[in-house]
Homo-oligomer: A and B are copies of this chain.
């Protein structure tokens, strides 16, 4: 828990060249920090954002904020991520989903291209996790971080964390990848693919050119609804809802528009989750996710793993539908085979992928041990 107010800061790079060769001018990214960097510059923990998150991992920006950052429970003096000991940095992403959140600073399709004076829209470069890591590296160097003690992330943030181990093997000591695999296999490609389609199906999307006009809010909300469905589990749905009707007066069997409560809730949540978001940003994040492949640029996946020097902790969730346990274990065993110092822990949870946040207390002892390893 962070009690003092958190200050959102902006890292301005100027020109940034992507892996694909394209260059963006006036590149900016928001970030925030908790705790203090030691003199040697070696006590830093970097937190990678997940699909729908921002840099806001802990504390409040203003006294009046209703909610604290998403990991406030574990960040603070004497806590798991101990701010008396560590300097913690958390950043927004390239093309951060919450582009229109007033506290977010990001560069993406919704940004103005200084060369044309209009929004990039689909002219924004396709980017990969490596681009994200490269920006994060520049940020950390600018903050005088000499070496990362830990890089950590959940879900898409965990994918991001994995990439650090290969991108800058000498710069990172420990990688904690939570509910994420180092390769997006075809199952997740399928999901990322159907999470792009509703946006493109909404006629207001207009091939990405909706800025200053009506945005594809319904398509975007459907994408977020689908993400919600995939992120929980069959048990969660069954146990929480039990076929309750949205309105006790309106039997779902009596009209097409009468629904079950879960239909209403996940639909409403789709709109809530997309409220400050940008639909094109979502498309680019999905694209980044399905491009995930730690072996990219190496002759084989194994060759990439051989270059890793960091200790790695992979945490999986027993009921995760996005990253089935046996796929996670496959990657863990690959790490071991290639000589990586890797650990693997499974959270027993009935909550699906979301168990990584909602049942996170179950991994605390494992994380504590890993931090001190």
Contacts and interface: CB of A to CB of B under 8 A. Distances in A.
A238 B185 contact: yes
Contacts of A187: 233-235, 237-238
Task: Say whether chain A's binding surface is mostly helix, strand, loop, or mixed.
Answer: helix
A243 B201 contact: no
B283 A256 contact: yes
Interface stretch (A25-33, A46-54, A85-93, A192-200): A192-200
A318 to B, nearest CB: 12
Interface stretch (A36-44, A98-106, A165-173, A261-269): A261-269
A223 to B, nearest CB: 10
Nearest to A244: B186
Contacts of A254: 20, 126
B238 A222 contact: no
A255 B222 CA distance: 24
A183 B243 CA distance: 10
A186 B240 contact: yes
B197 A243 contact: no
A219 interface: yes
Interface residues of A, number: 56
Interface stretch (A57-65, A286-294, A353-361): A286-294
Contact of A191 (B184, B229, B238): B229
A229 B187 CA distance: 8
Interface in A108-158: 122, 126, 128
13 contacts: A126-B255, A185-B243, A186-B243, A186-B260, A187-B233, A189-B241, A190-B237, A194-B222, A198-B222, A253-B296, A256-B283, A260-B290, A321-B321
Interface of A: 19-20, 122, 126, 128, 183-187, 189-191, 193-194, 197-198, 201-203, 218-219, 222, 225-226, 229, 233-235, 237-238, 240-243, 252-256, 259-260, 262-263, 266-267, 283-284, 287, 290-291, 293, 296, 321, 324, 327
Given A187-B233, A260-B290, 13 more contacts: A122-B256, A126-B253, A185-B243, A186-B238, A187-B235, A187-B238, A190-B229, A190-B263, A193-B262, A194-B222, A198-B198, A201-B219, A203-B203
